[in-house]
Chains A and B, each alone.
Chain A
């Protein structure tokens, strides 16, 4: 039961992009370990900038 709730919570966090930064860090550690990663705020701003540069919302 506890495990299921935890899975649901993680699903919600992913859906809301709450854990996007953690995913980025994980990827960064694997792929570009030589460079320092972006801070949480810089990453958030970067994501918003990218997201809103294309068609994101429809009629």
Chain B
């Protein structure tokens, strides 16, 4: 009977996947995607993750976990597995799975959807679960420490450089997303600004008024945030007040940079911790609401299955389907960053080794589901509207007429009146060229929410969605800057000891300023770039994230081989091979492509040629030298990242070949087994 019902799940899943893949009509309903996803996740979890747990990792339910052995009532503490699941999911799910699929929708809904499903079940979930398990067996050691202990010092350094780079690029691109959402939008700007005092208020409540009562403090904070969304709308209608919050890209970038610095040097209880509580609750609530709305409304997908932009001419980012769909959607399919969370806090809370399946594999499955929701929200829009919101003025033209003419000529009809009416309904002056994915996701969410839970509140839902995205983008920005600061302080401490002291104020100020300057630079260039900046920064982020995944999978593969599991090493080695191929091909194209929208070098040369021939307007010529330098810097950066990945892979292969030949390798750093004493 059991077998029969799983067989049924498999048949329904195969039918749904086939339905999506073969459907070539006018529109396809989103439920096809939802049903296919549920079946694939169910099968992946029930069979693949169970097989990996028993055969490959040899999970032992009788072996005591560090949470039990080292229980100190604080960080090491056996915790109910659903609670750990909640914490772990909140930690891994950030804005990435919402933005990547939205951008990748330019290829059509099919490529991204298939990659999210297959990459998640066979790649990302496996990586998260394996690293979580290996770290649990090593008392919760970090990825960098495990790389050092098991492979050698090279892997440790590579992990450190990779983490710092990805942090800087991630924060820059997220900052850019927020800036583009707030640009000349008084409602969005006022609402996002209001989140700061609200977070501080919640912080003071949690420290001074009712210490540690998170539930009630969050309830107050969320109520205030919803009030801020409504208040922003009132302010937007006011004659003079709305001009106070009407800013261009550069002042907003300066604000985000200044905010990032202040947030990084302030005590965590004041801003970061309360903001994080608010963003976590908002995130969980909104994701559930979105899933509910999709199931209730069963919207039609209006985007074609595959668009002509698979040839590399896409307006949102340049590059062919292979490898760029795999680079663009990192979070949601496979995200190396998760390996940092899976090796740190979470392993210290696991009460039984068998829980790694639910917590590692299961959380990533849920995040993959979030990415699918974002894909649905982006593709239920009229394709013309989707491209009008997401295309940079440098690609489609600066005026509304030029933009709609270009986009309609691609076969995605859209009119200036339509865009105007949509902007008015959303309470915005314009939605054209709001690149970065957040606004188009907000439009998609607003249309589905308002049709499910209240017609005529489009503008409110739109700004709720913008606020929701901004709140946790800013949380990632705060938290990332802090982590970057700690890593830098650790590094600088090698040169002069006082700089390594994390609580010495001059060192805090210096290292925070350096980290903020690092991402602030990329953010600034992204804002002044007429091609929108996202076109450059998002692929760079994707490559950096995959690099981290490559390091994590190398560590996992190396350990599996050292433990005598050579014949099962493909479980992590196959995703590793795929990651290595896509990042290397993407890097190659980013360097040698003659198309200036893809290749950094050709873009730099084209700009330099235009500058020399005097074909630029004075404003363009003023920023051109910076843009040229940036393109060259990005070229160097991708080469370094890919080189690091190959060095780590080579190091892992060296260790593996020594194991196979029976030569000595570093001893296993696994903590000795202590079995449960059963009474």
- List chain A positions with a Cβ less than 8 A from chain B: 11-18, 20-21, 23-24, 26-28, 31, 40-41, 43-59
Contact = CB atoms under 8 A, between A and B. Distances in A.
Interface residues of B, number: 56
Contacts of B77: 23, 27
Contacts of A26: 73
B94 A40 contact: no
Contacts of A47: 74, 212
24 contacts: A11-B80, A11-B83, A13-B215, A16-B214, A18-B215, A23-B77, A27-B71, A27-B72, A31-B72, A40-B211, A41-B211, A41-B212, A46-B74, A53-B486, A53-B502, A54-B486, A56-B341, A57-B475, A58-B91, A58-B96, A58-B476, A59-B170, A59-B331, A59-B337
Interface stretch (B58-66, B266-274, B292-300, B654-662): B266-274
B341 A58 contact: yes
A44 B476 CA distance: 21
Nearest to A50: B75
Nearest to A47: B74
A21 B212 contact: yes
Nearest to A55: B340
A44 B82 CA distance: 23
A59 B83 contact: no
Nearest to B170: A59
Contacts of B80: 11, 14
Interface string B167-182: 0001000100000000
B268 A55 contact: no
A57 B476 contact: yes
Contacts of B94: 57-59
B95 interface: yes
Contacts, number: 117
B518 to A, nearest CB: 17
A21 B254 CA distance: 40
B479 A52 contact: yes
Nearest to B335: A59
Contacts of A20: 212
Interface string B330-341: 110001011011
Contact of A52 (B79, B215, B272, B340): B272
Given A56-B479, A58-B338, A28 B73 contact: yes
Given A16-B215, A44-B269, A55-B340, 4 more contacts: A11-B80, A52-B479, A58-B93, A58-B335
Interface string B77-109: 101101100110001111110000000000000
A13 B545 CA distance: 34
B630 to A, nearest CB: 22
Nearest to A53: B486
Contacts of A41: 207-208, 211-212
A16 B338 CA distance: 21
B597 interface: no
Interface string B393-404: 000000000000
Nearest to A37: B73
B162 to A, nearest CB: 13
Contacts of A18: 212-215
A48 B92 CA distance: 18
Contacts of B174: 59
Contact of A57 (B163, B330, B480, B486): B480
A27 B475 CA distance: 31
Contacts of B273: 48, 51-52
A3 to B, nearest CB: 17
Interface in B39-67: none
- Identify which of A18, A24, A52, A58 gathers the most chain B CB atoms within 10 Å of its CB: A58
B335 A11 contact: no
A17 B84 CA distance: 11
